[in-house]
């Protein structure tokens, strides 16, 4: 990017970041919560590493992606552009078990664990990566819960809500490679997100009773972050409202 374009893009991102932070602050105020209770994840999917670099310059420390093939190279590129930046990468998209090895090389946290088999594959991949010196420390994981109607679940991934506590127990018992941090979900398409977020919050509370460290409730995106904050979200994942419209839907 040339210097003039970069300057313009930086100003644009600074403005949208301020707007999103103001929305989060207002939602927290309305819910009687402190603004520092809600973390902002910038979802950089389909946008270049240069945008991730500018967001990092603007103080963003948490970046998220939904496809391994796109995220790995982007994380490498950002490390080249901003070697000093303290950025944490989050995987928020549907994940096949055969991608576990690749994901643990770039992701600090995987928010989309939705089955015991995927958890097992990730634990194994972390172990191998540690042995090879490719990573240190455990992988933070969230359980992705499905808020879709049963007939639509499966398309978008996610563990059925009633099965979440059991999956939490399995992950907690799986050894030291995975650290259960909480629960994540995407609101159902074309419906009022409020009842779905309320059900999610109930399930999260239940998981937290047995696993006190699973404090994260990752819910809310560009279109519904206010409703998610009202229902206790501790982590909103925002793409469009920060970076603009995506030209290509990320599959
Ligand atoms: C793309 C994506 C987001 C961000 O969505 P926007 O509506 O662009 O803010 C959040 N969470 C997940 C899982 C996503 O795939």
pLDDT in tens, 113-171: 999 999 999 999 999 999 999 888 899 999 999 999 877 766 788 999 999 999 999 99
The 10s digit of each residue's pLDDT in 237-247 is 999 999 999 87
Alpha carbon separation from 55 to 49, 120, 134 (Å, rounded): 10, 33, 26
Query: Who wins on pLDDT, 2 or 21?
Result: 21
* pTM of the predicted model over 0.85: yes
Say what percent of the chain tops pLDDT 70.
97
Give yes or no for a contact between 86 and 58, defined as CB atoms under 8 angstroms apart. no
Mutate which of 66, 221, 224 for ligand 1? The one with the most ligand atoms within 8 Å of its CB, which is 221
Residues forming beta bridges with residue 236, ordered by sequence position:
40
> Is 83 part of a structural domain of the chain?
yes
Q: What is the mean pLDDT of the chain?
A: 95
Query: Number of folded domains in the chain?
Result: 1
| Domain-embedded: residue 250 | no
Residue 113 forms beta bridges with which residues? 143
Average pLDDT over residues 72-83: 97
Q: How far is CA 28 from CA 31, 225, 226, 231, in A?
A: 5, 10, 8, 10
Which pLDDT tens digit goes with each residue over 17-35? Answer: 999 999 999 999 999 999 9
CA–CA–CA angle 162, 219, 244 (5° rounding): 140
218 C-alpha to center of ligand 1: Å? Answer: 11
Nearest CA-CA partner of 143 in 120, 106, 121, 115? 115
State if residue 91 touches ligand 1 by the CB under 6 angstroms criterion. Answer: no
Model confidence at 251, pLDDT cuts 50, 70, 90, reads very low
**Pocket flag, ligand 1, residue 40 (CB < 6 Å):** no
* 3-class secondary structure, 247: coil
Residue 23 beta carbon below 6 angstroms from any ligand 1 atom: no
Residue 157 sits in which domain range? 3-243
Residue 63 alpha carbon to ligand 1 centre in Å: 12
231 lines ligand 1 (CB under 6 A): no
The pLDDT of residue 152 is 72
Assigned domain for 251 exists: no
CATH number at residue 84: 3.20.20.10
pLDDT at 105 over 90: yes
- Among 217, 57, 56, 43, CA closest to 147: 217
Alpha-carbon distance 62 to 43, whole Å? 9
Query: Which atom of ligand 1 has the smallest separation from the CA of 241?
Result: 9
Q: Is residue 249 part of a domain?
A: no
| Other CB atoms within 10 Å distance of the CB of residue 163 | 16
Measuring from atom 6 of ligand 1, which residue has the nearest CA? 239
243 lines ligand 1 (CB under 6 A): no
* 13 CA → ligand 1 middle, Å: 17
pLDDT in tens, 197-243: 999 999 999 999 999 999 999 999 999 999 999 999 999 999 999 99
In a domain, 177, yes or no: yes
Ligand 1 contacts CB of residue 223 (under 6 A):
yes
Q: State residue 220 phi and psi, 5-degree precision.
A: 105, 135
Q: Is 187 in the pocket of ligand 1 (CB under 6 A)?
A: no
Query: Is residue 73 a part of any domain in this protein?
Result: yes
């Amino acid at each position: 990017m040339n210097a003039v374009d970069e300057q313009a893009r930086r100003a644009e991102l600074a403005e949208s970041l301020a707007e999103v932070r103001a929305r989060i602050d207002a939602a927290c105020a309305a819910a009687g919560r402190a603004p520092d209770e809600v973390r902002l994840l910038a979802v950089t999917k389909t946008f270049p590493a240069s945008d991730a670099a500018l967001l990092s310059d603007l103080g963003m420390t948490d970046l998220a992606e939904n496809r391994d093939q796109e995220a790995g190279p982007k994380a490498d590129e950002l490390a080249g552009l901003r070697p000093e930046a303290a950025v944490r990468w989050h995987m928020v998209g549907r994940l096949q078990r055969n991608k576990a090895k690749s994901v643990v090389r770039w992701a600090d946290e995987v928010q989309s664990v939705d089955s015991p088999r995927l958890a097992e594959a990730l634990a194994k991949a972390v172990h191998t990566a540690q042995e090879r010196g490719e990573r240190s420390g455990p992988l933070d994981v969230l359980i992705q819960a499905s808020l879709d109607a049963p007939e639509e679940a499966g398309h978008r991934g996610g563990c059925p809500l009633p099965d979440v506590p059991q999956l939490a127990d399995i992950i907690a018992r799986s050894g030291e490679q995975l650290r259960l941090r909480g629960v994540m979900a995407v609101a159902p398409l074309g419906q009022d997100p409020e009842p779905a977020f309320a059900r999610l919050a109930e399930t999260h509370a239940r998981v937290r009773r047995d696993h006190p460290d699973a404090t994260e409730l990752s819910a809310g995106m560009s279109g519904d972050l206010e409703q998610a904050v009202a229902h206790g979200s501790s982590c909103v994942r925002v793409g469009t409202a920060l970076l603009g419209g995506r030209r290509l839907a990320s599959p």
